[in-house]
Amino acid sequence: MNRKTLISPPVLLVLVMLAAITVVFVIVLLTSSNETDPGMTPDDYNARGAELVAMGNSENGAQLIVSKTCTACHRDEAGSVGPSFTGIVDYAGTLRPGFTAEGYLLESILDPGVYLYNNYSNSMPALGTQLSDQELADIMAYLMTQHAQ
């Protein structure tokens, strides 16, 4: 056997281990991409969402969705990058098992890629994490007023 053309056993072992790690990593990535933030259960979102809505001011929220650039994507017109907010509260609590409207809205803002509403693209930035608690509360309270007209 010509030893020079063979990969030495220790190198082979390292290569096999690297390949195994890569496979495990890819599987974890693929299977975790559709899960909620592992730290927060639907009940956590529901409870926190209700708390925020209770302390929110919807009139401030109406200003904030403009100043925080939400309305750049969330417009009533056709061709809007994101869904219109009009009517959102009517279905917010019906889309995901275990989520109330408040919980759904909170998760949509904090972790937008977890669930994509109505085949919209995964293009919403996680702006919610840059908002103060009060700003988030105000926006949540505003969204909770958005029944279909």
Minimum CB separation of residue 128 from ligand HEC in Å reads 6
Cβ nearer to ligand HEC, comparing 47 with 84: 84
DSSP for 2-32 reads -GGGSPPHHHHHHHHHHHHHHHHHHHHHHHH
Tokens of 42: 């639907």
The answer to whether 127 and 68 have CB atoms below 8 angstroms apart is: yes
d(CA 13, CA 42) in angstroms, rounded, equals 43
The residue ranges that bind ligand HEC (CB under 6 A) are 65, 68-70, 72-74, 81-83, 88, 105, 108-109, 112, 116-117, 120-121, 123-125, 127-128, 139, 143
Minimum CB separation of residue 69 from ligand HEC in Å reads 5
Cβ nearer to ligand HEC, comparing 48 with 74: 74
Give the single-character DSSP code of 91. Answer: H
Minimum CB separation of residue 104 from ligand HEC in Å reads 7
